[in-house]
Structure 1
Amino acid sequence: MSATKNGIEIEINAQRTATSATTTTAVTPTKRLPGGYGELDVEQRGPICVITFKRSAVRNALTRRGYYELIRALADATFSETITTVVLTGAAGNFSAGNDLTQLRQYADPQAFLRCSEYVLSLLIKAFIYCPKVLVALVDGACIGIGFVIAALCDVVYCTERAYFQAPFTQYGICPEGCLTYLLPQLLGRVKAAELLLFGTRLSADEALCYNFVARIIQATDIERQFWPQLEEYARLPLESLRATKRLLSAAERTQLLNALKAECGELKSLRLGETYQRAIEAFVNRKAREGGVLSKNKL
């Protein structure tokens, strides 16, 4: 299969992982890190911190607790002297379906919950923006909403052939969040980014490779045998050179990211409290109650 962008033909299959040409290498055993995490598994593989979203029953949708756990896991990795690289991934064939909107039922005052949403979101996004370690996303299956945001904030993204990316914010009556209005035009080009953000369309794995959102497509069956040994080899590069290179790559766009975050949060503050979003959330929560909690295809 091939795809074309700006008149340049990109052979998708030629850029996929060459399974027959890669030599299998032993991977360092994993060690679970302490922290009392509930929505995440946090482990160490040699110089790699692996953060896994693990709410598989809801396709790894995140609650506010998950936000705080992720902030803490990134902070721990930042101050570790043995970790050079952080990998974010999801359990059971999905990266993350976004925010778990059903969590609003747990709060006596949902309006108060929504009013501080932008503050909590800002903490999470800034944890990614200021993280000095190499951030890698390994995406399988659904990568929606805040999941898409997390992947876009990483330095390098890899995905399986089953992965897809989606930002259905406008379908719920709100605007994009987490710097997506800056990141996606930079990464994909303005027109493709506008299609994704305005209409909530899906970006397939092949399209993500064609538009340079992902570095490589990895067969799901080859993750353990090939991906982890190769990444561990990368992660053993000198910490000082990795940090200096990331610092140079990140310095130019940090101000733009922070400006985008501030502008998005300003719009979200009123949109989240508006009637359109409130009705969309109410309809979603009621539908989930009728379905017994089965996750819909689109979450934020």
Structure 2
Amino acid sequence: MDGRATVRTLVHDAPTVTDTPPASPRNRAALHTAAAERLAAEGAWEQAYGHLHAALRLLHGDEPLPDAHDELDRLRREHAEAREQSRRDSLTASYNRRYLDERLAALLADIDGTPFRTTGLCLALVDIDHFKLVNDTHGHLFGDRVLQRMVTELDAALPEGGFCARYGGEEFALVLPGRDLAQAVEISEQARDRIARHDWSDLHPDLRVTVSIGVAHAAGRIAEVERLIGEADMLLYTAKEAGRNAVAYRTARGGRVRLAGPAGARRSIPQPVRTTG
């Protein structure tokens, strides 16, 4: 096989190669390096190694070659770092909406499998009460510090397998796989209480922060992530309509909306109609 055919065969999804071979070994090496980076991004490490070795041979000729394994390790590290950064919210360092949607879809697709086929999974949507007032009073940079502190508090007691993601603005999502509704409500109520009791005075002497939370439960196969998010979102706004600083959930029997903890004694708890779409 001649050099031109080799480049055309080895370069995975590379730009179209013309009938004229690349003008120099350096150009051919660049094609191999680009192919190695793409293959590394896909986790095809052995193929990536082959392209790196070919690139090094083209660049160094008969001279002793640098260790291609070192280059491959560098690609692995850079790929892992880039992938992790792409999953994170730049302000709070919590997971972002893209990761939330992807991970929820994967969890729901496997909801009938081990380890949570009997418990399902729960999603809690958390919204900071009166956050606009915080921004209007203290400024957006101050509000950013509140959001960062909020993530610390939400992460503080997550169970194994659970994670926090920034849903948007001042809203966050707690994903709790392998937890039934009662467990998720308890975790959410503890988070609400912890935030309400937190000493925010180091940010400002008069600052007090509370959150409202809606907890939705998925048991059995669900076709769309949107249905679970929609239910949690509706319960979140029910908690707000019921006076804020509360955790709202829907009972398994009867489907009535309740508030967890002390908020459960409130007289007026709205009963939104569950959507069936």
Bigger Cα Rg: 2
TM range (shorter): under 0.3
Larger relative strand fraction: 1
What TM-score do the two structures reach when normalised by structure 2?
A: 0.23
Q: Taking CA–CA contacts closer than 8 Å with sequence separation of 6 or more, which of the two structures ends up with the larger relative contact order? A: 1
